[in-house]
Amino acid sequence: MSKKSSVAIGVLGFQGDIEENVAAVKQAAKEMKASATVQLVRYPEEMEKMDGLILPGGESTVQSSLAAIQQSLPVLKKRIAEGMPVLGTCAGMIMLSRRAYDRVVGDTKQKMIGNLDIVVERNAFGRQNDSFEADLDIGIVGKGKFKGIFIRAPAVSEVGKDVEVIAKHGSKIVAVKQKNIIGTAFHPELADDARMHKYFLKMVLDYRKGKA
Ligand code: GLN
C-alpha cells in the first residue's frame, strides 16, 4: 500500500481496455477533486503497493494466463481477500468469479482469481446480440440511467449469499457487489460516464482511510 497522500490505483496491464480505464479513473478523480495516481500493474510487487485495482474488459483467458505466468494470481487473491477494493469489468468480472462456463463448451477451465462468489456464463448474450447498448438502473451510482456497453458479455447465473445484485438487464444479472469487489458484465470505462469509477474511487479512499 502506498504511503503517499494520494491513493494508488492499478489497472491490470496485460490486455484489453487498459487505457480506457486509466482515463476513467483520471476523470473520476477530477470530478471528485480526489488525489489519485493510476498505473498499469503486471507483477506481484506492483500489486502489493496498490490501494485499489481494476481488471479491464478484454479476453479473460488471455489475461489470466499472462497473470499466471507472472505469478500474479496468488497476490491478487490475497490482496482482495485482505479487503483491497477491486473493480472487474466484463473479462475482469469473469476472472474474479468462482466459476465460468460457456453454453457450448461447458466449464471453460480457465485460471481464475476466484474471490467473487458468483458463477458466470461467458458470451451469455449469444452471437446474434454479441455487442449492444442498454440503459441500466444502477442505484448505487445514482438515479439517472447508466449506458451499459456490452461486448461479447457474460452474465451472472448464480450468486452467493454475500453478493448483492446491483444491476439487471431484463432477467439477466449484469452487475454485482460483494463487500470490496464490484463486477460488471458491461464496460463502464467505455460509457463516457465516470459514475461507476467514482463509486469505486470512493471505496478506495475509504479503504485507505480505514488503514491510515
Ligand atoms: N467474452 C470475453 C471473455 O470471456 C469478455 C468480453 C469482454 O471483456 N468484452 O473474456
- CATH code of the domain in which 105 resides: 3.40.50.880
What would the mean pLDDT of 40-50 be, rounded to a whole number? 97
Establish whether 197 is a catalytic residue. no
pLDDT at 104 over 70: yes
Decide if 28 is inside a domain.
yes
Average pLDDT of the chain? 95
Decide if 76 is inside a domain.
yes
Decide if 161 is inside a domain.
yes
pLDDT at 95 over 60: yes
Distance 65 CA to ligand 1 centre (A): 14
* pTM of the complete model: 0.96
Decide if 1 is inside a domain.
no
Beta bridge partners of 116: 97
Active-site pick, 20, 169, 189, 197? 189
pLDDT at 102 over 70: yes
**Domain tally for the chain?**
1
Q: Is 59 in the pocket of ligand 1 (CB under 6 A)?
A: yes
Report the distance separating Cα 70 and Cα 15, nearest Å: 14
Percent of the chain with pLDDT over 90: 92
Which pLDDT value is given to residue 194? 98
Which pLDDT value is given to residue 4? 57
Let me know how long the chain is: 212
Q: Is 57 in the pocket of ligand 1 (CB under 6 A)?
A: yes
Decide if 183 is inside a domain.
yes
Which pLDDT value is given to residue 2? 47
What distances in angstroms separate CA 96 from CA 86, 102, 128, 209, one per listed residue? Answer: 9, 16, 26, 25
Domain with 19, as residue range(s), is 7-211
DSSP 159: E
Decide if 2 is inside a domain.
no
